[in-house]
Structure 1
């Protein structure tokens, strides 16, 4: 079946539901669509990126010169520039409003930048653009410096943004033929085309509203039936093209509620392969229609940051339409709540987790090393329903206390280790860790030695499957001794051998016995003092 016929068939089956077409596997570079349209790579923050281009920024506006203007024009689809005189009060007021406009649009908004040109020092630019009055605002579109659009009479931030958004709306390309449409699609890494029967009113207005929010994306529009037939379109539809290939189409209803759905779809295809999670991107992330997120927790200051992020991006390329890949900078104070939610300690960094927002379920990658192979397997297992969910507690096994080594889980952990009845020596382990697996037989021998001891219990707990909310967590495997009749926790720092474990346990048992004897003697001494005091009072009364 040919592609147009296949699309028509799928439209009939799916009706008005969202459909994602994987026409071909995209062996494209790891550059994201947003980066291709001039977005700032999160690995190089805005300041570093500007420095690399030799551009300064003052009060949210790029300082443009005859040298830097061409560089910035190559970085964005829309560039709004104020030509000003520093001695002009009106110029200074407009600079403030332009800076506010940047905040309204959002610095993270790719595809649009704001700048300023000092005409007292940039005479060539003043002459080239025929600046007669200051301040003057011009909009450069698609990197073209010829015939920029004049913005006249607009002096307030909100009005500047409204004017700019309208210009973005007007940038939609009207496609009149098959050849023009093919050229438009093939020349863009990402493009969105609206196929509408009426280009003046109705559902097309929703499409125009959508255009305003995505200055980084080239939009096209057509009512030509011969173009519709080429792509198998039969009703008003929005189609997303990537690398010249259809990756998604969405039938459009005359309903304001569908605008949010259309926005989420376009937003998904414009996002980076890997998104840095922070305050600015948080809302964007939660608005995505894909509810499965995989998170890389890593310090940006670590030596392995660059290599691990590249590996993470490589995996993201293979699961682009199935999972959203997020990088969480563990150095960022604002991310503390995320670390707490996933119970990430310093020993877990770097680490990988998956979160399903629909069911609010979490998954820990069952591997010590963050490699392409391990992450790919983790993603596949999750999507196939084979990944082990990270729960507050596993169920208590029926035979948890019948073997030499007792099995602890979140539900019985505190009850056992803080019972104040027995001394408990616990191994905290990860079932997939080679080092942990090699120590389990040693722990089993230790358990046999103390299986019938009157006051000692040997136990283990899978720390990756049970949230015990303790502050003493370390890098697995690790061991702790919980003394009877005490809330203290004694860490084990010795060798991982049977004899070393035995020596440690015996030493702690002896310490507990000595402590109990000392406590008993203290109590006896206190009782004698009380009796002596009573005798003295009695003698005093008799006298």
Structure 2
């Protein structure tokens, strides 16, 4: 009940902030509660911590928001709110839940601040609970402090693709800060290298693997139906250190747990 009330409060607070703004303008976050509720409202959000509407970056942020409408954008002109997030000068910040990360673009340090650059900043760092792998999203994935990835290899268009993705979206929040959940489309030719790294081909999919960037080690969940329970236990096996003695996936052979 407490979580429900908090969620309802957040929804009402964010809705009221947005409703009080002029059409087409980002909501203004005037206090900490409003900022917290806004950040909690989506997997990825952008806040422009700026001096005002005349600040460098404000108009560019508005234009970028129109082009990346999947990411909510707000502004805060209040220095007290800035302090809560370690902001000392005009900064455009991206907040993402997948790894509890705040990525800052300090306006004064940007060589050239323009709409295209802000769009790129958002897209590159838009890591979600389940992020679809591409050359663009790879930058945000590999720059994350979370170096362990739970990988779902599946062919887009297959009957399992959407169902398995939904399972991961539901499961990923349990492992925030421990794993990034990444979806790799085996039907995309450019992803063949990723599949080959695990000793897989498109006809072998769907499969689930773990890649640990710190040790550069990788494992596959055994073949068979991919259930939420199996994936959860696979993740916990890694966290308990049980996979270190298990044969790795790849051309030399696939793991058997």
Give the 3 Å change call, closer, same or farther, for CA 249–263 of structure 1 in structure 2: farther
Deviation at 1:351, TM superposition (A): 1.1
Q: 2:200 aligns with which of 333, 338, 344?
A: 344
Look up the SS of the partner of 1:304 in the other structure.
helix
Bigger radius of gyration among the two? 1
Q: How many residues align?
A: 220
Deviation at 1:343, TM superposition (A): 0.8
The answer to whether the 8 Å contact 1:195/1:233 transfers is no
Counterparts of 1:143 and 1:172 in 2: how far apart (Å)?
A: 8
Deviation at 1:342, TM superposition (A): 1.6
2:219 aligned with 1:219: no
The answer to whether the 8 Å contact 1:185/1:241 transfers is no
Counterparts of 1:321 and 1:264 in 2: how far apart (Å)?
A: 24
Deviation at 1:344, TM superposition (A): 0.9
The answer to whether the 8 Å contact 2:46/2:94 transfers is yes
Question: What is the aligned partner in structure 2 of residue 273 from structure 1?
Answer: 129
The answer to whether the 8 Å contact 2:207/2:226 transfers is yes
Counterparts of 2:222 and 2:64 in 1: how far apart (Å)?
A: 40
Q: Which has the higher contact order (CA 8 A, sep 6+)?
A: 2
Alignment of 1:428-467 (within 5 A): 463-465=253-255
The answer to whether the 8 Å contact 2:125/2:137 transfers is no
The answer to whether the 8 Å contact 1:356/1:362 transfers is yes
Alignment of 1:140-151 (within 5 A): none
Q: State TM-score, norm by structure 1.
A: 0.32
Counterparts of 2:221 and 2:127 in 1: how far apart (Å)?
A: 24
Give the 3 Å change call, closer, same or farther, for CA 315–187 of structure 1 in structure 2: closer
The answer to whether the 8 Å contact 1:192/1:238 transfers is yes
Question: What is the aligned partner in structure 2 of residue 371 from structure 1?
Answer: 227
Question: What is the aligned partner in structure 1 of residue 136 from structure 2?
Answer: 283
Q: 1:312 aligns with which of 165, 168, 173?
A: 168
Query: What is the RMSD of the two structures over their aligned residues, measured on CA atoms?
Result: 4.8
2:127 aligned with 1:255: no
For structure 1, the 5+ residue unaligned runs are 1-23, 29-141, 145-170, 394-409, 411-462, 466-475, 477-543
For structure 2, the 5+ residue unaligned runs are 8-21
Counterparts of 1:350 and 1:331 in 2: how far apart (Å)?
A: 11
Question: What is the aligned partner in structure 2 of residue 185 from structure 1?
Answer: 38
Alignment of 1:348-367 (within 5 A): 348-357=204-213, 359-366=215-222
Q: Summarize deviations over 1:272-322 as a string: whole Å, max 9, x none.
A: 533333xxx322223332243322222345443343332222222323444
Give the 3 Å change call, closer, same or farther, for CA 276–208 of structure 1 in structure 2: same
Deviation at 1:379, TM superposition (A): 1.9
Give the 3 Å change call, closer, same or farther, for CA 193–343 of structure 1 in structure 2: same
Alignment of 1:16-35 (within 5 A): none
Q: Summarize deviations over 1:86-136 as a string: whole Å, max 9, x none.
A: xxxxxxxxxxxxxxxxxxxxxxxxxxxxxxxxxxxxxxxxxxxxxxxxxxx
The answer to whether the 8 Å contact 2:148/2:210 transfers is yes
Counterparts of 2:226 and 2:31 in 1: how far apart (Å)?
A: 47
Deviation at 1:352, TM superposition (A): 0.9
Deviation at 1:195, TM superposition (A): 3.5
Counterparts of 1:186 and 1:286 in 2: how far apart (Å)?
A: 22
Alignment of 1:393-408 (within 5 A): none
Counterparts of 1:206 and 1:345 in 2: how far apart (Å)?
A: 45
Look up the SS of the partner of 1:344 in the other structure.
coil
Counterparts of 1:315 and 1:184 in 2: how far apart (Å)?
A: 23
Look up the SS of the partner of 2:254 in the other structure.
coil
Counterparts of 1:183 and 1:358 in 2: how far apart (Å)?
A: 32
Give the 3 Å change call, closer, same or farther, for CA 179–210 of structure 1 in structure 2: closer
Q: 2:152 aligns with which of 289, 296, 308?
A: 296
Give the 3 Å change call, closer, same or farther, for CA 331–367 of structure 1 in structure 2: closer
Look up the SS of the partner of 2:195 in the other structure.
helix
Look up the SS of the partner of 1:297 in the other structure.
strand
